[in-house]
Amino acid sequence: MSTHKENAVIIADLAQIAATAPLLIPLLHNYVSAGFPTPADDTVERSLDLNTHLIQHPAATFFVRAFGDSMTHAGIQSGDILIVDRAIEARHGSIVIAVVNGDFTVKRLEQLNGNWYLIPANPVAEPIALSEEVTASLWGVVIHVIHSFVP
Amino acid sequence: MKKRLFGLVDCNNFFVSCERVFNHQLVGKPVVVLSSNDGCVIARSAEAKLLGIPMGAPAFKYRDLFRSNEVLVLSSNFGLYADLSQRVMAILETAPCDVEQYSIDEAFLRFNAESEATAVETARTLSKQIWQWTGIPVSIGIAPTKTLAKVATEYAKKDLTLNGVCMLTEQSAITTALENLPVGDVWGIGWRTAKLLTQKGIFTALQLTHTDDRWIQRKLKITGLKTVWELRGISCIDLVMEERVPQSIIRSRSFGMPISDVGHLKEAIASHIAHACTKLRAHNLGATTLSVFIKTNRHSSSETYYSGIGTIHLPVAAHETDYLVSKAFDVFATIYKYGHWYKRAGVMMHGLRSYEHFQHSFLSDKGFTTAPLMDAQVGTVALNPLEQPWKTKQEKRSPNFTTSWDELPIASLK
């Protein structure tokens, strides 16, 4: 059972911790992109910002976690975070998030003889031909993969 | 003369649509989303509407219907809905028109279009872009007034041949639309006003437009008169461009299960204060009056109903979390009665004014800049969910796909 006085102590401690904690910059805090850079901006040195460097369409960008047997030839391992952009057009060779039979999957998109195929990571598995009858759809294009060496 | 055109962008079945973006298994099926505490239906898919499930349906009452029709039931996930809403609004901000966000899933547009055709073109482009970028389907209505734009959006939703965009500028089309619109469905006419009107023999929006202005002004006041003029095609309600400043902040929640422990109650109250303070700080406001209330279950047969509320006036307009938490606890001590099982706790802040910086002796001399981080810490320091019986029930909430690193959607690498 906590008393009023105990609560006071806890909050004061938190204030101490907060004062020394590193400043957290939330990713994708705001989806409205910055306006046009002005000539004056060129003279100002700003810290490097991963958000603007990696993400062109914040409102269309989502994070998806990859899971399962690795797609190492594409540089994706299980547990990696994929940065997915829904705004850009998928092309031959794009790594995409596709919805196949209701589930998210990571596939390579390829075009062969005018037909589009979703190529799975497993070289033995069948490519999925995209046609009217197939229950598969493109969800977004993978633009970056975040692989961490520290847990 | 260039005719001014308004648009209304309305996300279709918004909460369900949000869930469908990340869960394809929900597509094409009857889906409902329940309010916080899994109380009543606050969103239905088109398929669920066809089953006759009304908006606001109490979940327990419709349990059997849900089961027999394999209706998928989800708890609300406002973190997800707010995030997707922000994205939709951000896309609208890039369009060649002024935007006023009206609700979590609606926004008014004011076109700077050269012609009606351009406005339609803009609307179609926006609709496509929102669908591709976020996976949210929208309907857009375009008309000479906001009130008529709302009517146009309803047609955009219902008439699939319109492909999600409906322009209502031609007088004969407007007349037909208003003829088929019950007066209670007009934007700005509530159920009480609707009752008053139908008693007078005014059943349709069209009939309302033919009603005498002086009578309308007398019975419906100036806002009602504006609504009628808007129905007639005369724009008198413009876009609200500045964010509305809140007059008061009220925050309360029902508990998942009744609680009597003082510590748990104070935790709930502290949480409400923290949230309210975040909102105050966002508007650079402070509160000069603070109320705290706790209630037992009104409908309980075993409990005598008890509702306690206490109010204090603060010397200055404050928004510091820990200061207001300490004041709230002072008030709580005066209203808490031992032996009761409480079902609900809440806080109210009134007399909101520009924030006044005040060196409270209670706080350390570290200043107030730590407040936002402190709120984040309060959230995480709070005990794990199992020890928070006051947290509302959310048994079937989807993961926080877009707001939690631990709950990202998962894609298989197979």
pLDDT tens sequence across B301-318: 676 788 888 888 888 888
Q: Are A71 and B381 within 8 A, CB to CB? A: no
Q: Please identify which residue in the block is written with the tokens 């322009």.
A: B167
Contacts with B266 from chain A: Cβ below 8 Å: 2, 7
Q: How far apart are CA A122 and CA B26, in angstroms?
A: 28
| Pairs across A and B, CB distance < 8 A | 122
**CB burial of residue B59 (10 Å; 0-12, 13-18, 19+):** middle
Q: What average pLDDT does the segment B340-346 reach?
A: 91
Measured CA to CA in angstroms, residue B157 lies from B12, B46, B227 at distances of 7, 11, 22
pLDDT at B378: 37
Q: How far apart are CA B403 and CA A31, in angstroms?
A: 13
Q: What is the ipTM of this complex?
A: 0.73
Q: Are A70 and B408 within 8 A, CB to CB? A: no
In the DSSP assignment, the letter for residue A75 is: T
Which residues of A are identified as catalytic?
70, 107
pLDDT at A49: 85
3-state DSSP assignment of residue A11: helix
Instruction: Give the confidence band of B113 by pLDDT, cuts at 50, 70, 90.
Output: low
pLDDT at B394: 65
pLDDT at B2: 58
Q: How far apart are CA B156 and CA B162, in angstroms?
A: 6
Quick check: B344 pLDDT over 80?
yes
Nearest CA in chain B to A22: B373
Question: Of A140, A30, A84, A86, nearest to B87 (Cα)?
Answer: A30
Residue among A2, A10, A62 with most chain B CBs within 10 A, to mutate:
A62
pLDDT at B73: 94
- Start-to-end CA span in chain A (Å): 36
Contacts with B366 from chain A: Cβ below 8 Å: 15-16, 19
Residue among B129, B331, B408, B412 with most chain A CBs within 10 A, to mutate:
B412
pLDDT at A2: 38
Q: Are A104 and B410 within 8 A, CB to CB? A: yes
Contacts with B379 from chain A: Cβ below 8 Å: none
Question: Of B406, B398, B135, nearest to A63 (Cα)?
Answer: B406
CB B123, CB B168: distance < 8 Å: no
Q: What average pLDDT does the segment B73-87 reach?
A: 89
Nearest CA in chain B to A106: B413
Question: Of B24, B58, B25, B66, nearest to B40 (Cα)?
Answer: B58
pLDDT at B391: 56
Is the model more confident about B391 or about B413? B413
Q: Does B402 touch chain A (CB under 8 A)?
A: yes
Residues of chain A short of pLDDT 70, as ranges, are: 1-44, 132-135
Is the model more confident about B305 or about B207? B207
Quick check: B28 pLDDT over 90?
yes
Q: Does A75 touch chain B (CB under 8 A)?
A: no
> How far does the CA of residue B279 sit from the closest CA of chain A (Å)?
16
Say what the pTM is. Answer: 0.71
Q: How far apart are CA A70 and CA A53, in angstroms?
A: 26
* pLDDT digits 0-9 by tens, B252-278: 888 888 888 898 899 899 999 998 998
Question: Of B317, B333, B295, B298, nearest to B249 (Cα)?
Answer: B317
